[in-house]
Amino acid sequence: MQELTVPTQTRVEFVDVTAEVQRAVRAEGVTEGLCHVFVPHTTAGVTINENADPDVTRDVIGVLDGLVPRSAEFRHVEGNSDAHAKASLVGSSATVPVAGGRLVLGTWQAIYFCEFDGPRQRRCIVTAIGR
């Protein structure tokens, strides 16, 4: 298991962590198996999406903001209820196959840490299982 540190700069952002996850898989010595990425935060998540056009992540953030606006009426008093809801919608983990020591992602895919309540210093847990 490897723990990544993910510093975020703004309240809401998607950070491409693909290269860091790949380094963690390499460090674990797994050449064939699975890589599990887990985000241990209730206001952040992880997703896999396109990395060729930055408008894709901006669009996804826009959709989530539309579904769960920050200005909505919430009972939670910390002022970050939208972040909790968005993290629940996105999810806290992703699993990627590993073959030949490399993450098996599509041509345009990347693994994104999804920040919804930053800026903060975050963690991401990478577990590579296999041989």
Q: Grade residue 7 by pLDDT with cuts at 50, 70 and 90.
A: very high
What does the pLDDT read at residue 76? 94
Which CA distances in Å does 126 have to 33, 59, 76, 102, 112?
A: 13, 27, 31, 14, 13
The total domain count for the chain is: 1
Q: Grade residue 29 by pLDDT with cuts at 50, 70 and 90.
A: very high
pLDDT in tens, 50-93: 999 999 999 999 999 999 999 999 999 999 999 999 999 999 99
List of residues 6+ apart from 85 with CB closer than 8 A: 68
- Provide the whole-model pTM: 0.97
CATH of the domain at 7: 2.60.120.460
Mean pLDDT of 9-31: 98
Instruction: Find the helix or strand (DSSP H, E) in which 67 lies.
Output: helix 54-67
What does the pLDDT read at residue 22? 98
Domain range enclosing 82: 2-130
Mean pLDDT of 92-121: 98
**Both tokens assigned to 25:** 């898989």
